[in-house]
Structure 1
Amino acid sequence: MTDKRQAFVALVTCFNDDETINYAATRVQVRRQVAAGNNIMCAGTNGDFSALTFEEKVRLCGEVVDEVAGRARVIVNAGMPATFETVKLAREFDRLGVDGIAVITPFFIACTQDGLERHFTTVADAVETPIYLYDIPARTQNHIEPETARRLAAHGNIAGIKDSGGAQDTLEAYMEVGRSVAGFDVYSGPDQLVHWALTNGAKGCISGLGNVMPDVLARIVSCVNAGDEEGAARAQETYAAFRADLYKLGYPPALVKRALYLRDPSVGLSRQPALLPDPEQDRAIEAILSRYGL
């Protein structure tokens, strides 16, 4: 495993007009990210995972792995509310040969820390592929406390955590776990913290915004790896400013998808009941895209 920092893009899932998955268009997005130098996270928050069926997730993951063909790393999200289905999905992804399986905290079901520990341990016991914890409390209402992460880090098949909580102190606490437990890598989710996280101990980042700005994301990481802090800071400034402008318009994953759609309609719309086309909002997104030369 390389010691260099790594960028993953939480890849959008492309849809046809009838809301079926457009696998060919999704493969195009995979090629675009690989060409930029980014790795792929499949079926994450920006990939509409909660709107996909079990069978669709399995096929989608297989198509992504096939398209990547070893040129980049692939992590796929298997997390579902119940441990039972999460294990079933993880076993399918294990068979497909991904590099890692992310497990988002259960949603809808309120969990104790003990419940979360049992959930992640059961999944990690069931597969050979390394498991990555995925914390995004704003969406799931469940949060992995740093001490819970520390206990889970001792499991031989739990390889790290993706932190999408947005709280810098929590990210710092996770990175402290990473520093003290060998083989436990921390990946930052918040787009505004990419540069800070990479220079303070994170192994990498997993970004939704990279769907729209793949080259800027890749530049932050490549500059950090090259020791070019000034270049990384400039790229981060652009990335964070674009994030602030775009996300103030509404729900981030739907806005990422819409911004991409306005430049490439083959990605399709989000599955309902997510964002519907809105001419006024589209004009605002267009103005932002133009301002950043996209």
Structure 2
Amino acid sequence: MTRNAFVALVTCFNEDETINFEATRAQVRRQVAAGNNIMCAGTNGDFTALTHEEKIRLTEHVVDEVAGRAKVIVNAGMPATFETVQLAKEFDRIGVDGIAVITPFFIACMQDGLVRHFSTVADAVKTPVYLYDIPARTQNHIEPATAAKLAGHGNIAGIKDSGGAQETLAAYLQVSKENPGFEVYSGPDHLVLWSLQNGAAGCISGLGNALPHVLAGILAAFNSGDIAEAERQQAIYTAFRTDLYALGFAPAMVKRSLYLQDKSVGASRQPALLPDEAQDEKIREILKKYDLL
């Protein structure tokens, strides 16, 4: 099975904080040219700062720009099942390859509530649905046993694990082994190769915004059986991650590192952290270290 890399694409903004669709399209072209697929309106895409209508329009632009040259997954997850279904139906209409559904946030959910939530969304669309677990941000976690239960739903195709714990990722991979057709996509950037070697269908990475060719290189080497090259590329990816993420909130650092390479990316909507010149200088030094500036 050929494994796939998706980049959790940044959403580009103008100075007045409106979406810069042309700059976002440019980022899509950059990722597709490198050999990566696209996930839009995810954590690295500032989805919590986007309106309902903006998410729909953003997805339309991304799908149009990709034009069938790569796969597109879009995140529809919202705190309420009602709005999540509304978004999912719009993405179903637009035509994407997968609809990711992040666990509800702000609202504390029991596991049976999560089963109802995901099942209701999956029942409402034809596009395959992917569970999206990132408990550090949502405070709700999909237990492996819950993932196993949902794996039996005919339109739930897999899970994106952004929890960061290798133990949880391993548990999801076991669910995948016991439920053929249920795919696991790893989120932690330092575990891309490990997850592939242990049965993952691929990865969905935010760091790929800054290092698209390295991410694509890990997947290409693994798919061709060149594990030594895959390990070399993973080592670069992990080292860059360690250096960059030591400076602050990971999605903010990724976007800022990309902004310092390409000003058209813009900043994030407030109340995201304001640019800091001292921090920018540290990021520039990291980018120079990896020959990105």
| TM-score, structure 2 normalization | 0.99
Q: Which residue of 1 aligns with 2:21?
A: 23
Which of 77, 95, 98 pairs up with 2:96? 98
Q: Which residue of 2 aligns with 1:128?
A: 126
Which of 214, 221, 224 pairs up with 1:223? 221
CA shift for structure 1 position 277: 1.0
- Cα deviation 1:144-184 (Å, max 9, x = unaligned): 00000000000000000000001111101101111111210
Q: Which residue of 1 aligns with 2:209?
A: 211
Q: Which residue of 2 aligns with 1:190?
A: 188
- Write the mapping of 1:81-120 to structure 2, written as runs, cut at 5 A: 81-120=79-118
Indicate the RMSD between aligned Cα atoms, in angstroms. Answer: 0.4
Q: Which residue of 1 aligns with 2:4?
A: 6
CA shift for structure 1 position 208: 0.1
80-89 or 174-183: bigger deviation: 174-183
- Write the mapping of 1:69-88 to structure 2, written as runs, cut at 5 A: 69-88=67-86
Task: Determine the C-alpha separation between the residues in 1 that align with 2:196 and 2:48.
Answer: 29
Q: Secondary structure at the match of 1:263?
A: coil
Q: Which structure 2 segments of 5+ residues have no match?
A: none
Task: Determine the C-alpha separation between the residues in 1 that align with 2:139 and 2:282.
Answer: 31
Task: Determine the C-alpha separation between the residues in 2 that align with 1:271 and 1:187.
Answer: 28
Which of 58, 61, 78 pairs up with 1:60? 58
CA shift for structure 1 position 118: 0.4
Task: Determine the C-alpha separation between the residues in 2 that align with 1:44 and 1:275.
Answer: 18
Q: Which residue of 1 aligns with 2:262?
A: 264
Task: Determine the C-alpha separation between the residues in 2 that align with 1:275 and 1:209.
Answer: 18
Percentage identity across paired residues of the two chains: 74
Q: Which residue of 2 aligns with 1:293?
A: 291
Which of 237, 243, 247 pairs up with 1:249? 247
CA shift for structure 1 position 230: 0.5
Task: Determine the C-alpha separation between the residues in 1 that align with 2:211 and 2:172.
Answer: 27
Task: Determine the C-alpha separation between the residues in 2 that align with 1:132 and 1:242.
Answer: 28
Supply the AA of the counterpart residue of 2:171.
A
Supply the AA of the counterpart residue of 1:265.
K
CA shift for structure 1 position 95: 0.2
Supply the AA of the counterpart residue of 1:119.
H
Task: Determine the C-alpha separation between the residues in 2 that align with 1:36 and 1:65.
Answer: 17
CA shift for structure 1 position 84: 0.4
Task: Determine the C-alpha separation between the residues in 1 that align with 2:43 and 2:258.
Answer: 16
- Cα deviation 1:183-237 (Å, max 9, x = unaligned): 1000000000000001110000000000000000000000000111100001000
- List, as ranges, runs of 4+ consecutive aligned residues in structure 1 with deviation greater than 2 Å: none
Q: Secondary structure at the match of 1:143?
A: coil
Q: How many residues align?
A: 292
| TM-score, structure 1 normalization | 0.99
Q: Which structure 1 segments of 5+ residues have no match?
A: none
Q: Secondary structure at the match of 2:260?
A: helix
